[in-house]
Amino acid sequence: MTYPTTTTTPAAPAPAGAHPPGHRPDIQGLRGVAVLLVVAFHLWTDRVSGGVDVFFVLSAFLLTGTFVRRIERGRPLAVREYWVRTFARLIGPMAVMLLAVLAAVLTLFPPSRWEELLSHVWGSLSYVQNWVLAGQSVDYYAADSAETTPLQHTWSLSVQGQVFLLWPLLLAGCALAARWAGLRFRTVALAVFALVFAGSFAWSLAQTAGAPAWAYFSTVTRLWEFALGSLAALALARSSRPQDASRRSLPEAAARPVGVALGWSGLAAVVATPFLLDTGARFPGTAALAPTLGAAAILLGGALAPGRPLSAGRVLAARPLLWFGDRAYGIYLWHWPLLITYLLISARDDVPVVDGLGVLAASVLLTRATAPLLAGWRALPGVRAGHGLRLAATALVVAVPLTGAHQYTVQRDPSAGVERTPENYPGAAVLRGDVTEVPDVPIIPTGAEREDEWGDTGGPCSPEDAPEGIDGLGHCRVIEPDDGADPERTVVVIGDSHAQQLLTPIHRAADAQGWKVVSYLRMACRYTGDAEPADAECGEFNAAARQAALEAEPDAVLTIGTLSLPEAPHEKLVDGYEAGVRPFLDAGIPVLAFRDNPRFPFSMFACVETYGPDRARCNPPRSESLLPENPLEDLAARHEDLHPVDLTDRLCTDSVCPGVVGNIQVYMDLDHVTSAYGETLAPDVEHRMLEALGWPDRR
């Protein structure tokens, strides 16, 4: 979002009522509208409000106007001073919020998330949070990528901070180029920002189509929004009073109605954005045009018809909107961590209206409460002496406790000193009925160990096992008999991460039975024979893996045949699954079709850490996780060599699907079984594979 309260200095908000000459109240009111849209749609919907996009346009408009006036008046640009002054003002409120979040993380949030959340504090403090989130959003193995962070909102502050560094250099470059070429500065600047707009917008279209998560957080895909604000500023930068200059470009009789029309159409576009765009709209592609063009129209309209009785500017200058506009930065900083903490403590997935208003009120109170603290901090001897010292000192205030917190999280292990034996950690043996009494010991795996819970996939495939065409599409792994002897049987596993997690118990079975297991894996790519898959590369991978398995002529092929769902109907056959396994069945190769494990709308691992293993939320009803009957049974009735394997009775009781069984966390996130629990499933997987295939037990 944006912070300046004047048309000359893009910095932190000034106190309410402290507005210099030339101030445009409609801009301040637009800030109020934008922050209210952001907060309201964060609290009560899952839609994108477009408010952040409005802030991007405003910040570039104000920043560009500042430097254009300096350049055209022949004044020094003072870029370094601008940087220090701007970040010194912005980082104070940010530091207070980050310290509060740091305290909340260590006292309220589950330990498994500490390392991730501490990295977000660093990312926010250093204004690179958008890149931290972009990396995690495309990292499939970031186990809690689906968990919301209390600092997710600072991605936009990071983007804006990066633009605050880049834009003055770009404007200075335009000034040098204009002087060198003998052209007017505005002509060069208009051309440069038009190119930035066109290039960034084209890139955002490509990225939102191919990598939407990355595109959302990327600075490059957002530059066109800032360029639009700069183009609006350049269009008005013909005198020290932009509203006078803009009106000279149109006849007096035309300027006012055009300005009024622009203002109202722009305000309508901004306010309508979250209502008209569905939850699948991908930002910042074409979906972001409505709020950004709307903001630009308001900026231009306000210059053409300043303060007209029937203009949108008069509405935007209403006292309540100005009041929220003055406090927009603080409200934006505080509302999101307060919201996420509320959801954590209340164990809710939604926010009642009254509670949401409480979050907004708390955000306002914290904004006001921290203002005297920041004023006192700026008045301290030495800190008062310079913006640079203030910037360094404020950053240090956050960095020192953050470093200590990081060391604490690294060293903390509640299970240290407890022997990890089957007696202490029986896991699935409890559901088998082999264990009747479970000792009182710390639950494993710990949060620090969770990243290692993806399981044992074996070693890399030899050239003869690796399928042609799989390079770059997926992974080939192999498990060979431990004794180096020729394998008794060969099993091929094809699938995604849910197939991968089975490799831990399958590995134990393979060691005991002398099997060779070759696995073809691609994350987020279920095995299917769908002729028109949504992911073209997934389809290519499945075709390559299928051909390789047919050529290998294994004794069996293992896949996941169902897809569990966090919402009704909770479970179904994988689309195109029958077509995918038919080539194996036609070739006389038996297929082991495993039933998927439950999938939840929240991280089960974090639930257990936060609320404990006995909380009802962490033991959801089995009926809300899977269908009463295995959907694979009907398919098996039509194909003699298709053998369903169902582990549901080792993941759920008759009534619930617990997050912890036998002192072991069953899930590492929303839907992946931990390797620790998978180890205890090994006897069941081995027995049921042998039984389904009719193979002898060589033990």
Which of residues 126 and 463 earns the better pLDDT score?
Answer: 126
Give the lowest-confidence range in 271-285, 347-361, 610-624.
271-285
Is the confidence at residue 66, as pLDDT, over 50? yes
Is the confidence at residue 204, as pLDDT, over 60? yes
**Helix, strand or coil, per DSSP, at residue 476:** strand
Confidence at residue 253, expressed as pLDDT on a 0 to 100 scale: 62
Confidence at residue 192, expressed as pLDDT on a 0 to 100 scale: 98
Which of residues 427 and 466 earns the better pLDDT score?
Answer: 427
Give CA–CA dist 507/502, Å, rounded: 9
Is the confidence at residue 398, as pLDDT, over 80? no
Confidence at residue 484, expressed as pLDDT on a 0 to 100 scale: 75
pLDDT class of 86 with cuts at 50, 70, 90: confident
Average pLDDT of the segment spanning 218-225: 97
Residue with tokens 């000192």: 393
Which residues, 6 or more positions from 150, have their beta carbon under 8 angstroms from its beta carbon? 101, 104, 105, 109, 117, 120, 336, 337, 340, 341
pLDDT digits (tens, 9 = 90+) for 304-329: 878 777 889 999 999 999 999 999 99
Q: What are phi and psi of 475, to 5 degrees?
A: -130, 145
Of the candidates 65, 67, 71, 70, the one whose C-alpha atom is nearest the C-alpha of residue 236 is 65
Rounded to two decimals, the pTM is 0.82
- Identity (one letter) of the amino acid at 649? D
pLDDT class of 54 with cuts at 50, 70, 90: very high
Of the candidates 248, 234, 129, the one whose C-alpha atom is nearest the C-alpha of residue 185 is 234
Give CA–CA dist 188/293, Å, rounded: 22
Q: What integer best gives the mean pLDDT of the chain?
A: 86
Of the candidates 223, 71, 92, 79, the one whose C-alpha atom is nearest the C-alpha of residue 165 is 79
Average pLDDT of the segment spanning 148-153: 90
Give CA–CA dist 673/682, Å, rounded: 13
Is the confidence at residue 668, as pLDDT, over 50? yes
Q: What are phi and psi of 21, to 5 degrees?
A: -60, 145
Which of residues 95 and 406 earns the better pLDDT score?
Answer: 95
Confidence at residue 392, expressed as pLDDT on a 0 to 100 scale: 54
Of the candidates 688, 686, 657, 681, the one whose C-alpha atom is nearest the C-alpha of residue 671 is 657
Average pLDDT of the segment spanning 68-76: 90
How many Cβ atoms are within 10 Å of 693's Cβ, its own excluded? 16
Which of residues 424 and 408 earns the better pLDDT score?
Answer: 424
Average pLDDT of the segment spanning 20-34: 84
pLDDT class of 15 with cuts at 50, 70, 90: very low
Confidence at residue 401, expressed as pLDDT on a 0 to 100 scale: 59
Confidence at residue 21, expressed as pLDDT on a 0 to 100 scale: 42
Long-range contacts of 649-656 (CB under 8 A, 24+ apart): 649/431, 650/428, 650/431, 650/432, 650/681, 650/684, 651/431, 651/597, 651/598, 652/598, 652/622, 652/625, 652/626, 653/431, 653/622, 654/622, 655/621, 655/622, 656/619, 656/620, 656/621, 656/622
Is the confidence at residue 382, as pLDDT, over 80? no
Confidence at residue 281, expressed as pLDDT on a 0 to 100 scale: 63
Confidence at residue 561, expressed as pLDDT on a 0 to 100 scale: 98
Is the confidence at residue 20, as pLDDT, over 50? no
Percent of the residues in the chain that have a pLDDT greater than 70, as a whole number: 86
* CA distances for 437 relative to 238, 364, 654, angstroms: 82, 52, 19
pLDDT digits (tens, 9 = 90+) for 528-586: 998 777 788 899 999 999 999 999 999 999 999 999 998 888 899 999 999 999 999 99
Confidence at residue 8, expressed as pLDDT on a 0 to 100 scale: 31
Is the confidence at residue 426, as pLDDT, over 60? yes
Q: Which domains does the chain have, with CATH numbers?
A: 25-406 (no CATH), 429-693 (3.40.50)
Confidence at residue 562, expressed as pLDDT on a 0 to 100 scale: 97
Confidence at residue 623, expressed as pLDDT on a 0 to 100 scale: 93
Is the confidence at residue 512, as pLDDT, over 90? yes
- Identity (one letter) of the amino acid at 173? G
Confidence at residue 239, expressed as pLDDT on a 0 to 100 scale: 43
Percent of the residues in the chain that have a pLDDT greater than 90, as a whole number: 62
Which of residues 125 and 644 earns the better pLDDT score?
Answer: 644
pLDDT class of 400 with cuts at 50, 70, 90: low
Confidence at residue 388, expressed as pLDDT on a 0 to 100 scale: 52
Give the lowest-confidence range in 109-118, 598-607, 609-618, 637-646.
109-118
* Per-residue H/E/C for 14-53: CCCCCCCCCCCHHHHHHHHHHHHHHHHHHHHCCCCCCHHH
Of the candidates 589, 507, 575, 578, the one whose C-alpha atom is nearest the C-alpha of residue 547 is 589
Confidence at residue 270, expressed as pLDDT on a 0 to 100 scale: 96
Q: What are phi and psi of 125, to 5 degrees?
A: -65, -35
